[in-house]
Structure 1
Amino acid sequence: MKSALKISFIAVLLITVTQLHSQKKFKANWESLSQYECPEWFRDAKFGIYTHWGVYSVPEDESDWYGTYMYTEGHPNNTTHKENYGDPKEFGYKDLVPLFTAPKFDADEWADLFVESGARFAGPAGEHADGFSMWDSKANPWNSVDMGPKRDIVAELETAIRKRGLKYVVSLHHSWLWGWFPTWGENTDCANPANESLYGEKVASSAWRVEGERGYYKVDPMPSAKFEKLWLEKVKEVVDGYNPDLLWFDNRVQILSEKVRQEMMAYAYNNAAKNNQEFVLTFKRPDFPLGTGTVDLERNRMPDIYPEPWLTDNSISKQKWIWHKDLKCYPTNNLIDDLVDIVSKNGNLLLNVAPHPDGTIPEDQKQRLREMGQWLKLNGEAIYETRPWLVYGEGPTETKTGHLADMHFDGFGDEDIRFTTRNGQLYAIALGWPKSNVLSVKSLSSTSFNGDIKRIELIGSKSKLTWEQTKTSLNIQLPSAKPCEHAFVFKIN
């Protein structure tokens, strides 16, 4: 008996030692960081949710860039601020912080909604561009535990989301803080050295605001060593304190020195390895080299199948990321079609929702998330755990490409079809219901597809389908009744 126990102990010890040796050790250089591998859970998950919610939500105005635009003379946010709060010289962004009390925020209620939507990963914006941390920060006195809500928002959502079996996301946008507030001026509270801990150190001028589609890409002067140190400390606090499964970075991280960017990635990857955690780090190009993390596109998507998993972050509203009184949401049909298109190209969708300043998620946004969940409950086998087919799809609609391109995209039509596969099963997903009641799939014509089609099912329909495969297309006769309200999934054997 003792001998058997001894052998078992040695076996366990050997396995443990092997696992420790097999863990990758990342060094702070691009070659070592290119060991990164996107985990299977992300490849399988396909759909996640995050939130733009913070001090910038309080004015209920039209821009998540309120903090910078409120100081820009003549900008609508500047005008609104003067009407509601007075001159920003007297009532600055710091004075909005006590108004962000979030009296109705309920992390469990949010998490239940995320589950109902069919999302597989979810979480908050940990810090936006405004320098206010939504966690119990020791590096930053402007945080949600010491001020505003007096609650650790990142911690509460971590507990609620993980309790429901979802992967946890934290997004970080804080590289934008460098030059976000007009610290170069003399006539605002931003220039007061007493407020530097929120607004950042004084910079020479606003010269960095002159180029790029959004107007914030040229940076002169570049960030100081002091700024970089605080930026890194904030990332480490999130990594050490909350161990997110997915750490998401907004663009403009490339303004930081290569050394700091490399140190951050190595720290996050080694922390995950230490915890045996399957970790994802997403970034926008050109902040990090390809292969060192997972690529994210903002309001944009790949034009074709991309060989590595990738992410699109888009919002539930076509124009806005945060709540305001006139927020208009995409129709549910557009959101589902976008998800299908992105998944067919080997991507995942991270959908932003915009909570009300009081901490509730408005009903029109809830409705869309619930409708997405209902669709996924019926058709999820064609989305979750799928992989791309030989081609992503067909149809006349071309998606636009480039940063923020989806803001100028009006959606798909009845002739657009997307393909996915799962365990050898092919799915053809029609993004509309043809008026002719015949779905023609050119990619499965007898001259394009060398294979026997034995059976075709329409998920959610009990009708037996008939079809004909010709030299130009596979023509499927549709039943008289639709099985659901949105994209229609055909299971082809």
Structure 2
Amino acid sequence: MPIGEWVELESSNERGLAADRVAMTVKESTKRYEPTWESVEEHPLPAWYDDAKLGIFLHWGLYSVPGWAPQVPDIQQMLRTEGPRSMLSHNPYAEWYLNSMRVPGSPTRRHHLETYGNVPYDTFVQTFDEQSARADLEELAGVCRDAGARYVVLTTKHHDGFTLWPSERPHPAKGRYHAERDLVAEMGEAVRNQGMRMGLYYSGGYDW
């Protein structure tokens, strides 16, 4: 029985077996895992996951406003020839925009100054709220379904600390730093309305 799935059970025997499975699930979920491949491979997957085949991971946040990152032909080659610092100055992922724009001389910093001027990253909040207020999440979920996806994962908070729901807890350094619209709840509902499963990504303890 997958975690979170409600099943109507008719007989006491079925209820007993279900209770055993739930107990096993709880035991497995509290098991301590070591930082090794062997240990991680012992983690049980939900029954539906192996059959899902295709899922879509949605990265959506303040970084979606500039939606920009430098083009890097081969990340591994860049790391080998230029070292790990190159991933800070030439990171090819838009969700790292805030961190990359802080690196003096980086392509992202040059792009930001040329496009937006010397304005802080946080000024994107207003634009994000205005644009996301008009987003049709049912349509977005339908696109995922039509692509053949069986599940969707949403980035609820990336390393910039901005949350996609109106959190009751203020950001310790920025105060109100969240979306006005509860995009997490609404996207979850839209995904489930399309017959897919919903997953959430949350970056904790790694804010810049």
* TM bracket (short chain): 0.5 to 0.7
Q: Secondary structure at the match of 2:95?
A: coil
* Structure 1 residue aligned with 2:7: none
Q: Does 1:126 align with 2:156?
A: yes
Q: Does 1:79 align with 2:79?
A: no
TM-superposition CA deviations, 1:428-487 (whole Å, max 9, x none): xxxxxxxxxxxxxxxxxxxxxxxxxxxxxxxxxxxxxxxxxxxxxxxxxxxxxxxxxxxx
Match of 1:56 among 63, 67, 75: 63
Match of 1:24 among 20, 23, 26: 26
Deviation of 1:160 after TM superposition, in Å, equals: 0.6
- Aligned pairs for 1:190-269 (under 5 A) are none
Distance in 1 of aligned mates of 2:120 and 2:191: 34
Using the size of structure 2 for normalisation, the TM-score is 0.66
* Structure 2 residue aligned with 1:93: 121
Amino acid at match of 2:187: L
* Structure 2 residue aligned with 1:70: 101
Amino acid at match of 2:100: Y
Equivalenced residue count is: 165
Are the equivalent residues in 2 in contact too, given 1:98–1:148 (CA < 8 A)? no
The percentage of counterpart residues that share the same residue type is 30
- Aligned pairs for 1:382-401 (under 5 A) are none
* Structure 2 residue aligned with 1:160: 190
Distance in 1 of aligned mates of 2:108 and 2:42: 45
Are the equivalent residues in 2 in contact too, given 1:123–1:157 (CA < 8 A)? no
- Aligned pairs for 1:223-372 (under 5 A) are none
Distance in 1 of aligned mates of 2:109 and 2:138: 36
* Structure 1 residue aligned with 2:142: 112
Are the equivalent residues in 2 in contact too, given 1:115–1:164 (CA < 8 A)? yes
Q: Cα gap change, 1:72/1:115 in structure 2, threshold over 3 Å: closer, same or farther?
A: same
Are the equivalent residues in 2 in contact too, given 1:123–1:161 (CA < 8 A)? no
- Aligned pairs for 1:404-419 (under 5 A) are none
Q: Does 1:45 align with 2:52?
A: yes
Amino acid at match of 2:183: I
Are the equivalent residues in 1 in contact too, given 2:166–2:178 (CA < 8 A)? no
Q: Cα gap change, 1:18/1:109 in structure 2, threshold over 3 Å: closer, same or farther?
A: same
Distance in 2 of aligned mates of 1:51 and 1:14: 39
Higher strand proportion:
1
Match of 1:170 among 200, 204, 208: 200
Q: Secondary structure at the match of 2:48?
A: helix
* Structure 1 residue aligned with 2:86: none
- Aligned pairs for 1:126-145 (under 5 A) are 126-141=156-171
Amino acid at match of 2:126: P
Using the size of structure 1 for normalisation, the TM-score is 0.30
Q: Secondary structure at the match of 1:105?
A: coil
Unaligned stretches of 5+ in structure 1? 1-7, 181-493
Distance in 2 of aligned mates of 1:58 and 1:152: 18
Deviation of 1:35 after TM superposition, in Å, equals: 5.5
Structure (1 or 2) with the larger CA radius of gyration: 1
Amino acid at match of 1:85: Y
Distance in 2 of aligned mates of 1:174 and 1:16: 34
Q: Cα gap change, 1:45/1:82 in structure 2, threshold over 3 Å: closer, same or farther?
A: same
Distance in 2 of aligned mates of 1:141 and 1:123: 23
Deviation of 1:46 after TM superposition, in Å, equals: 0.9
Higher helix proportion:
2
Are the equivalent residues in 2 in contact too, given 1:53–1:125 (CA < 8 A)? yes
Q: Secondary structure at the match of 1:150?
A: coil
Distance in 2 of aligned mates of 1:17 and 1:148: 40
Amino acid at match of 1:97: V
Distance in 2 of aligned mates of 1:107 and 1:120: 16
Amino acid at match of 2:33: W
Q: Secondary structure at the match of 1:24?
A: helix
Distance in 1 of aligned mates of 2:125 and 2:162: 9
* Structure 1 residue aligned with 2:6: none
Amino acid at match of 1:95: T
RMSD of equivalent CA atoms: 3.0
